[in-house]
Structure 1
Amino acid sequence: MTFFPHFSQHQVTIALSVYIGLILNSPVLIRNCAGGWLQTSSALLSALALFSLCYLLVRFFSLFGQTGYKFFSSFTLLVSAAASYYMTFFNVVIGYGAIVSTLTFDTDLNSEAVGYTFFLWLVLTGLAPCVWLWFTKLTNTTYSNMGIKSIAKSCLPILGALVAFNVSIKTIIAITEDHARKNNQYTASTGGIIAHSYLPTNWIASLSIYLHQLGKESTSNQKLYDPSKHFTYQATPALDDLFVVFVIGETTRWDHMGLFGYERSTTPLLAQEPNLIAMRGTSCDTATKLSLRCMFVRENGTEDDAQRTLKERNVFAVLRKLGFTSELFAMQSEAWFYSSLDANRYEIREVVAAEYAYSKHPIDDMLLVAQMERSISKHLQGKHLIILHTKGSHHLYSQRHTRDFANFTPECMDIDDSCTKQQLINSFDNSVLYVDYMLKNVFDKLRNKNALVFYVPDHGESIEENQHFHATPKEMAPPEQFRVPFIVWASDKFIAQPQHQVLFSNLKKREENNFNPHHEQIFDSLLGCMGYSSPDGGINTQNNWCGDNPKSMAFDNHSSGLSQR
């Protein structure tokens, strides 16, 4: 056909690379250039990296022959064009959650996000280039008739693309980290942010995670003991419109919180909350990965080994089986844990940060509050669970809060600084102040709803002269690495219901009796405080903080961790 002239495969590859890498990404690239010099230079370097990556990807497709080349290129074109519609007009970050939502079998939800403008966009930006590609006759599609020199010459562009991609990415990382370091700001993985900000890496990475988790769920999770299949859980009618938010803290210690008698006023906002219960507690382990395994399953739900090998499914997965919708938003990237929650969707740190990466908004835990508010607005009917995995008081402490929260000075400002113990403590205490502020904002979004909020960090941390450390083997870890606060907040609407008044009253008695909760009790207490009961033993009454038996459990192996500083 004369309308579709002959092109070499290399020419088509360059055209596709420009189209997918630059043209479809142009609205996002232009938006990201609108900031200062850092944003502009990062966007320009990203453009070079995107072209290079697309070139390498499309060249890879040529290994599958001319038909395979056209098929995989067309698939990449169509999916990228579809994703670009939402990136262009709605500024959507394409992450795991977007892929899960797209691939859901809920046709009602999908139809609400797809209209005639989407199909028009897809025809013009995706289908039309695919038609051109399939009718174009390609030349030089194999190496069979080429000499060594010709093959070597054809490989030079591949080498150039590899070099350009690596140089541009490493330059972006270098200038971003240098800027963050000079301004004492936290930045998520720069490579991860770029991958989730642009086509086609955003949907390729998210689709890969989805397929990986799909396969994983069909194997590992199915082998775990599922309490929802072996026990009966009965709910009160008050659960039908309930919102539950579980905030997973990071490294924050109870002995640095004013709520527990610390000499500094590090929790002034929490201290003013009338519907708040605060207890000195003990973590099940001293490292994030280990604690996330043992803190949300039933007592003895993990092996007592160094890896905390899981034996049972966690309480969040059980709540999904009991009819709750759930979403998780994280400032960390523990995807193995997030996938075990059976959540409707989750967004890891890089996806959350990508939305704000090219703005002047700090990348900190307050971004999770905005995500939580959006989640609530999409599930106004209630019976909805939101998990927020924070960065909390993780070192470098001074990067966990904005400068207006630097109440205690001097701080330890750089990871390479030689810092005194007092500087480290000042920075740590300022991070606790920011936790206080973040939690207050969480409560504010829920005051007019039937809502319950839990806040529990994963572990504590030792702070010594020029040192900060945790993850000491639990058998020999010092007490402070187990010191974590257990905070429960309820809205007025929650407490106003008679059945909830009893539950909250039982919890209050434990606080007044200086009850010391443990991670191993969260499974039973979260269900119990929400209003669930189990006639056949699905909830251990001794572990239920809101039950009518206020007797504390004794954990002799960590009891030293509860002593005051």
Structure 2
Amino acid sequence: MKKLHFLTQSRVCCFIAFYIGVLLNLPIFLRRFHQLHADAALSTGIEVLAAFALVLFTTLLASLAGRLLFRILTTLLVVFSVAASYYMIFFNVTIGYGIVAAAMATDSLDLSRESVGWHFSTWLVLVSLLPVLMLWLAPMPEAALRRRNGWAFLRRSGVMMAAGLCCWVPLKVMGDHQDEQDRINNRMMASYGGVVAGSYSPSNWLSGMGLLAYSSWSEAEDNRNLFDPAEHFTYTPPKDVNDLYIVFVIGESARRDHMGIYGYDRDNTPNLDKEKNLAALQGYSCDTATKLSLRCMFVREGGASESPERTLKEMNVFSVLKKQGFSSELFSMQSEAWFYNKTMADYYALRETIQSEKRNVGKPIDDMALVSELRDSIDRHPDGKHLVILHTKGSHYLYTERYPRAWARYQPECLGIDDQCSTQEMVNSYDNSLLYTDHVLKSVFDQLRNRNAIVFYASDHGESISENMHFHGTPRNIAPMAQRTIPIMVWASDKFLQKPDHAAAFAQLKKLQRAKTPVFHEKLFDSILGCAGFTSPDGGINELRNWCHVSS
């Protein structure tokens, strides 16, 4: 043991930081270097420094808790990081909340041999062995010295803070640089720091575990007093429920009076115009801001309060479907985690996690990435009885960041946040964003044409546009109609409509479309269940609020 006395606690921390932060991530650094299109060498170098500094900060922080606790916590850090690296290196898996939640919720005895087999076990033991032995065999005399020497404690604390700054400052500088390039190039990339955190171990699984802990706490806290329709009513599924797919696409800031399919004088919905199984309804939002609308648009009548903050009183329709045996996944280009938790989805991925995937590295935030996630989700659930929720970036300002140049049909555009843009330039950019939404929705339908599927689309709210101005969120009792006038659409596959009951229900939707009957967010709960074929003998679905109700 005397030969190991040179291994002070600080030196062990440095070794662990190099081992986990650099060596385990080395294949990921190389992969990122080849995927990045600009500033690849600089970005990779900064990411190496940040990964090393993060682990050093974490281990030094743990060292302040005493030698035994330091060894336990750092051993867990090593083992979990090695486990994560196996899937990151060999399977190119992006570790995030969804993966962590799935791993924590699954009994290890049920995991398939492809997920946990002898290859994984061998990797875990061999790669963890050296750092774990060092942690437990090295005497680390500094632990005893710290108790006698306040200067040693202060010195280590200073190094820890320096490590934290070495992690945060370079990422902040690169993030600011990316933001500047985004303004120059008229694009919007996912947060640089968020993508880096989602790309490397241990930041990816640590943030995933943090989000899982928060989700579990908030779900238990928030749902404690919420009325749960699934526990108070009986829901009878349709006969074809076992192979049924339900997809809900949440739009952003879309106005139906700016969409060709609703009679707008610009043909910016050429794909939707051709869809024979599509009902385009005259929608009105329940509120004028994303957070507020997400509270009131998926619950029963009275399920959210009429107060300005829209306090929730009930669980939403997605949680009801979950309790009817549906598997569910959610993919988002936004970050309303509080809402995603309440859907009770088996898995969800936010834009930083999605943009960390190999196919999306270096690309701007783009709603078409959600289509790829939808395709993969369907492939993972080939038998059906599956729900997918897609939360788009849609037509959120800056509008020109929402579509590739190939969709810049209407000119001139409003190209920059700081530009002095005329009303027409703002409208041109806005209409282009809706042209791209048309493309995204058509692509969503394409994934489901040969399946038993129904797709719902509703924007969260509208948008006011005027000379160099864009806004929503006006208190709903005084908001202009532009902020409440939204598209609500329902699409069904041919296979879905082969069933007479479904065909009759869909005919009701087309009847509403022809009559231009107003429909409201507040009726989505009953209509999603009703249009999918669910019934409730004891009032769980209010048929007067079900757009697909067929009178007997």
Asked if Structure 1 and Structure 2 have the same fold, meaning a TM-score greater than 0.5 normalized by the shorter chain, the answer is yes
- Structure 1, 344-353 or 182-191: larger mean CA deviation: 182-191
- What residue number does 2:487 align with? 485
Q: What is residue 408 of structure 1 aligned with on the other side? A: 410
Structure 1 residues 147 and 333, CA gap change in structure 2 (3 angstroms): closer
Contact 1:32/1:40 (<8 A) preserved: no
Q: Is the 8 A contact 1:362 1:402 kept in 2?
A: no
CA apart distance, 1:484:
0.7
The answer as to 2:391 corresponding to 1:389 is yes
Shift of 1:402: 0.5
CA distance in 1, matches of 2:508, 2:360: 48
Which one-letter code corresponds to 1:167 in the other structure?
V
Distance 1:314 1:159, change over 3 A: closer
Q: Tell me the CA shift for residue 190 of structure 1.
A: 1.9
Indicate the SS of the match to 2:270.
coil
Query: Match for residue 235 of structure 2?
Result: 233
- Which one of the candidate residues 143, 154, 162 is aligned to 2:146? 143
Give the structure 2 partner of residue 557 of structure 1. none
SS in 2 for 1:395: coil
Identity of aligned residues (%): 46
User: In 2, Cα distance between the equivalents of 1:210 and 1:118?
Assistant: 24
In 1, distance between residues paired with 2:358 and 2:264?
A: 35
Counterpart in 1 of 2:375? 373
5+ unaligned residues in a row in structure 1: which ranges? 551-565
Whether contact under 8 Å (2:57, 2:161) holds in the other structure is: no
Residues 287 and 459 in structure 1, CA contact (< 8 A), matched pair in contact too: yes
Q: Distance in 1 between matches of 2:230 and 2:159?
A: 56
2:221 & 2:362 partners in 1: Cα distance? 43
Contact 2:246 2:453 in 1 (8 A): yes
Structure 1 residue 182, shift from structure 2 partner: 1.8
Match of 2:52 in 1: 51
Answer yes or no: is 1:89 the counterpart of 2:90.
yes
Determine if the alignment matches structure 1 residue 30 to structure 2 residue 33.
Answer: no
The residue aligned with 2:422 is: 420
Q: Which one of the candidate residues 188, 191, 194 is aligned to 2:193?
A: 191
- The gaps in structure 2 that reach 5 residues or longer are none
| Separation in 2, partners of 1:427, 1:201 | 37
SS in 1 for 2:283: strand
Tell me the TM-score normalized by structure 1: 0.94
Q: Give the match for residue 21 of structure 2.
A: 21
**Structure 1 position 11 matched with structure 2 position 14:** no
Task: Give, in whole Å, the separation in 2 of the partners of 1:72 and 1:505.
Answer: 61
1:171-203 deviation line (CA, Å, top 9, x unaligned): 211222222222211112222212111111111
| Mean Cα deviation higher: 40-49 or 61-70 | 40-49
SS of 2:528 mapped into structure 1? helix
Could you tell me which of 318, 322, 325 is aligned with 2:324?
Answer: 322
Hey, what's the Cα distance between the residues in 2 that align with 1:132 and 1:189? 37
8 Å contact from structure 1 (residues 267, 432) kept in 2? yes
Distance 1:48 1:197 in 2: 14
In structure 2, do the counterparts of structure 1 residues 56 and 440 end up closer, same or farther at CA, with 3 Å as the change threshold?
same
Tell me how many residue pairs correspond in the alignment.
549
8 Å CA contact 2:77, 2:202 repeated in 1: yes
1:347 offset after TM fit, Å?
0.7
Which residues of 2 match residues 135-174 of structure 1 at below 5 A? Answer: 135-141=137-143, 142-146=145-149, 148=151, 152-174=154-176
1: CA distance, partners of 2:153 / 2:301: 63
Residue pair 1:266, 1:433 contacting (<8 A) in 2 also: yes
**Aligned-partner residue type, residue 42 of structure 2:** S
**C-alpha displacement at 1:263, in angstroms?**
0.5
Q: Secondary structure at the match of 2:366?
A: coil
| Distance (Å, rounded) in 2 between the aligned partners of 1:546 and 1:72 | 56
Matches within 5 A, 1:441-460: 441-460=443-462
2:248 and 2:66 mapped to 1: Cα distance?
A: 51
- Residue 163 of structure 1 and its aligned partner are, at CA, apart by 3.2
Matches within 5 A, 1:149-298: 152-298=154-300
SS in 2 for 1:539: coil
User: In the alignment, does 2:74 pair up with 1:73?
Assistant: yes
Equivalent residues of 1:38, 1:175 under 8 A apart: no
Q: Quote the RMSD (CA, aligned, Å).
A: 1.7
Partner SS state of residue 326, structure 1? strand
Deviation at 1:144, TM superposition (A): 2.8
Q: Does 1:364 align with 2:370?
A: no
The 5 Å alignment of 1:121-140 reads: 121-140=123-142
Structure 1's 109 and 506: CA in aligned 2 closer, same or farther, altered over 3 A? Answer: farther
> Deviation digits for residues 481-528 of structure 1, max 9, x if unmatched?
001101110000000112211111121111111111100000000000
CA contact (8 A) 1:169 1:191 kept: yes
Alignment of 1:480-519 (within 5 A): 480-519=482-521
Query: CA shift at 1:549, angstroms?
Result: 4.8
CA contact (8 A) 2:61 2:160 kept: no
Letter in 2 for 1:405: W
SS at match of 2:19: helix
- Cα–Cα, structure 1 residues 463 and 356, in superposed 2: closer, same or farther, change >3 Å? farther
Secondary structure of the residue that 2:363 maps to in structure 1?
Answer: coil
Q: Using the alignment, how far apart are the partners of 2:40 and 2:522 within structure 1?
A: 45
TM-score normalised to the size of structure 2? 0.96
Mean Cα displacement is larger for which, 71-80 or 36-45?
A: 36-45
The CA distance in 2 between the partners of 1:147 and 1:69, in whole Å, is 19
Show the counterpart of 2:524.
522
